[in-house]
Amino acid sequence: SKTSPLGIMYMLLSSILMALMLFLTKIAFISSNLSPFEIVYFRGLTLVVSNMTYASIYGIDLLKVPHHLETTLWIRTIFGTVAICLNFISSYVLPVSIANALFYIYPLITATFGYLLLKEKITKIEIAGIFVSFFGVILIVVSSKTGNNGLSDIPLYNYMLPIFAAFCACGVFLLTRVMGTEVHYLINPTWFGFAQATLVVPVCLITRSGPQIPLILHPHDMPIVFLASFSWLA
């Protein structure tokens, strides 16, 4: 298949917004009492409300999924929910620069599995660019673990969270590619958002500590959540 310049532009814009999403999410953690799972919950609500509004205006049926792709869509939804949970937790326990850098090994993972499973072609220049990016990530992590910057005390398993998120994100991209144009592009994020807004509810109720009622957005938390919601559409 041909590489569309418009598709490349959309992917670059998505990457910028994804990076902004983690940055704003980190600010939300610092400036509010919200847990990572509550951020996931509000992100899911943002996706569902915005996509359903758009779909209702343009008459898009968000339940119109070919029968043979229903299982694929559900698996993609689970991969996506796990990925975003791990992503937000990693930005909670790691500096956002490190969490972001580690998560962005997913191009290497996706390219590898895309070649092996979907038989997609990849050029030598693309391979070189991906590996340069990958080793840049390794350099950042090694320097953070060995430098005198206060990061050497962070447990190693915290660094594994964004890596696992990257593998889950790879699953999301591959399954989205498998479904192709048979499933409307709004259906994926809408089902994804619905899963986020429902599956994390019991987790929020179990893990929440302190006097604040979980899943209730207090007035002092509204500005940052509202701001972050724009990047959550990435």
Q: Which positions ≥6 away from 130 have C-beta within 8 Å? A: 107, 108, 111
Are the C-beta atoms of residues 106 and 170 closer than 8 Å to each other? yes
Are the C-beta atoms of residues 205 and 38 closer than 8 Å to each other? no
| DSSP three-state, residue 226 | helix
Q: Which residue has the tokens 């500096």?
A: 95
pLDDT at 80: 92
CA atoms lying within 13 Å on the CB side of residue 163: 9
Pick the closest to residue 91 from 81, 82, 102, 78 (CA basis). Answer: 102
Q: 10 or 61: which carries more pLDDT confidence?
A: 61
Residues 135-168: tens digit of each pLDDT: 777 776 667 666 555 566 778 788 899 999 999 9
Residues 166-198: tens digit of each pLDDT: 999 999 999 999 998 899 989 998 999 999 888
Distance CA 23, CA 17 (A): 10
What does the angle CA 209 – CA 214 – CA 219 come to, to the nearest 5 degrees? Answer: 115
Distance CA 113, CA 116 (A): 5
- Reported confidence tier of residue 211, pLDDT bands at 50, 70, 90: very low
Q: pLDDT at residue 125 above 50?
A: yes
3-state helix, strand, coil in the chain (%, to 5): 75, 0, 25
Pick the closest to residue 100 from 35, 169, 150, 32 (CA basis). Answer: 169
- Determine the average pLDDT of the residues in 210-221: 64
Mean residue pLDDT across the chain: 82
- Reported confidence tier of residue 213, pLDDT bands at 50, 70, 90: low
Q: pLDDT at residue 92 above 70?
A: yes
